[in-house]
Chain A
Amino acid sequence: MRPLASSSTAASPRRIRWQALIAYPTLAVILLVWTFPLVWVLVTSIKRRTDIFTAPPTIFFQPTLSNYVFALTARPVLANLRDSLIIATAATLITLAVAVPAGYAYARLRFPLRRQLSFLVLFMQMMPLLGLIVPFFLMLTWLRWTDSYHGLVLVNLSVMVPTATWLMITFFQDLPPEMEEAAAIDGASRWQTFLQVMVPQAAGGAAVTATLAFLTVWNEFLFAVIISGSRVRPVTVGLYGFLQFEESLWGPLMATAVMAMTPIILVSILAQRHLIRGLTLGAVR
């Protein structure tokens, strides 16, 4: 099937001109609306205080790194970033380790309760976060696991495991059956078929899932603010603490936000193809 986009030759020249006339201004507005606030964060993070609180806002100013220095010395930003990195990495690795085999089994194998359990997977990824965190908080308090890495990883897994399993199911379903059948004819064991034939084919899908999991856990705030304490504090909670007590320190606040979001923006640029696919997959399929 020809993609619609390539059929512009079929349209009359007048229609194309009219569309270009409307497309480019729309494009400019979109870029302004959705990127200006982010550029403004970056710009404010290198402004001196006297350049920040002006009306109208200053456009030309002497840039400074003092906000970054202040944020790094007065606030535990580095420790917060380290905690976020540990929690997001651990949660992503565990999620992948359980979601890839489970996704394969749900997508390709026949076993009792398969329909019921895949329905449960779909259901669990939609469950309300507030409904989860109330009992979770009580259980972690009893176990004395609040304010710990494993407590925060566990609570994040409650959402990530079903979401990632569902993504992996869709990726395995899309693979052609030929390779699997050939492996069976060659006498490969089930485990060999999975590990040596199916996993390499689903590597792209696993990358999508990993990107999405890392991003979600890194950005997570609700669980973190309730479960974390003085010892373990992800950067989202650190940033909120900063906002709560020093709302008027815009420069250091924005510098912290830039440092908190740089890893995420790097991941999104590196894994851009994966990311857009992962984000829109659930909706387009």
Chain B
Amino acid sequence: MRSPDRLWDRGGPEEARPVAQGRRSASFLSSEGLFAWLMISPGLVLMVGLGTLPLVFLVSLSFFRINLTNPAGNRWTGLGNYIRLLADGQFWNSMQVTAIYTISGVALQIVIGMALALFLFRVFPGHKLLRTLIILPVILAPIVVGMLWRTLLLTPRFGALDYISYSVGLGSHEWLTNSRLALLSIIVIHVWQWTPFAFLVFLASLHALPVEPLEAARLDCRSWWQELWYVILPLMAPAIVIVAILRTIAALNAFAAIYAATEGGPGTATQILNLYIHNTAFVGLSIGYGSALGTVQLLITVVVALLFFRFRMRMA
């Protein structure tokens, strides 16, 4: 594991060799510049052609009324789709559901992942086996996770978790079809699948912490709690922020597990923005309006990504 002061040095040759900073980079025609462009161009063509251009196309589509069921009605509407969006109750509902899902999901992953990492960060017999087993939910397809929770765990009466809930006196419930429980259930499913990721990252970061401040803290701090609050958590702050941002981006891209578990229902209780875009564009076939919703999703992602970049720059 690298030492913390190297953790954030992700810059290229220029950052690594400050001398080079004032120097102009190699020109297109120099042998280095030409060779480099040959090396990056296949990847660049794929990335721009399959990623950047479709996103530009998405934004342009959002200014048209396009419905695949009625091609004759396709026309330019300017900001029409965005005006419709402002008055669309389903859109605002999906924003609210997305916010609750993302914020509570990420917070729970961090708190639980950190707690588990702190309890288990010493090397103990069997820790390799634990790492092998705990990574399994992360590598499962989200569609499988959603399916397994919907059937084996949460089905009233026959699901294992529902049975446990019933046995301990909490009662049997319609976990995924009751509008008050469904959102909670899909958050639990998300947290179950992804907490092992946060746990493994925090475990790796704890093992990479410098020993000296911790040993000093052990002498200075009166309690384990003080040591945690004043020494360990501040040292872990960069890892926590990175996990928070990465998991936020991932939660904003959530789809398959919810689709398998509730399909956004009951009603619109678990319809996150992604599911609303999907239903608008691919069920209702309103590509224009779906693109406007997709553009909102793009803007949200860009804001989160910029936060990530700013944070990385500050660390560097």
> A residues within 8 Å of B by Cβ?
1-8, 10-11, 15, 19-20, 22-23, 26-27, 30-31, 33-38, 40-41, 44, 52-57, 94, 97-99, 101-102, 104-112, 114-115, 117-124, 126-132, 134-139, 154-155, 157-159, 161-162, 165, 169-170, 173, 190-191, 194, 215, 218-222, 226, 236, 239-240, 243, 247, 250, 253-254, 257, 260-261, 264-265, 268-269, 272, 275-276, 279-280, 282-285
Contact = CB atoms under 8 A, between A and B. Distances in A.
Nearest to B128: A272
Interface stretch (B37-45, B78-86, B100-108, B177-185): B37-45
B209 to A, nearest CB: 5
B304 to A, nearest CB: 8
A109 B35 contact: yes
Interface string B1-14: 11100011010111
B135 A279 contact: yes
Given A124-B47, A128-B253, A138 B61 contact: yes
B148 A257 contact: yes
- Dominant SS among interface residues on chain B: helix
A4 B214 contact: yes
Contacts of B252: 128
B39 A155 contact: no
Given A34-B137, A215-B139, A279-B197, A132 B282 contact: no
A3 B1 contact: yes
Nearest to A6: B123
A41 B136 contact: no
Range class of the B interface residue count: 35 or more
21 contacts: A4-B121, A4-B206, A27-B126, A37-B149, A37-B152, A40-B148, A56-B167, A98-B43, A110-B25, A110-B32, A123-B305, A126-B301, A130-B277, A131-B294, A138-B57, A162-B47, A173-B16, A279-B138, A279-B200, A280-B197, A285-B8
Specify which of A119, A123, A162 lies most central, judged by the most chain B CB atoms within 10 Å of its CB: A123
B290 A101 contact: no
B171 interface: no
B255 A109 contact: no
Contacts of B277: 130-131, 134
A191 B44 CA distance: 19
Interface of B: 1-3, 7-8, 10, 12-14, 16, 20, 25-28, 31-33, 35-37, 39-40, 42-44, 46-47, 50-52, 54-55, 57-58, 61, 116, 119-124, 126, 130-144, 147-153, 157-158, 160, 163, 167, 192, 196-197, 200-201, 204-211, 214-215, 218, 224, 239, 242-243, 246, 249, 252-253, 255-256, 259-260, 273-274, 277-278, 281-282, 287, 290-291, 294-295, 297-298, 300-301, 304-305, 308-309
A20 B300 CA distance: 44
Contacts of B281: 134, 137
Contacts of B16: 173
A98 B291 contact: no
B12 A112 contact: no
Nearest to B139: A268
Contacts of B149: 37
A120 B55 CA distance: 13
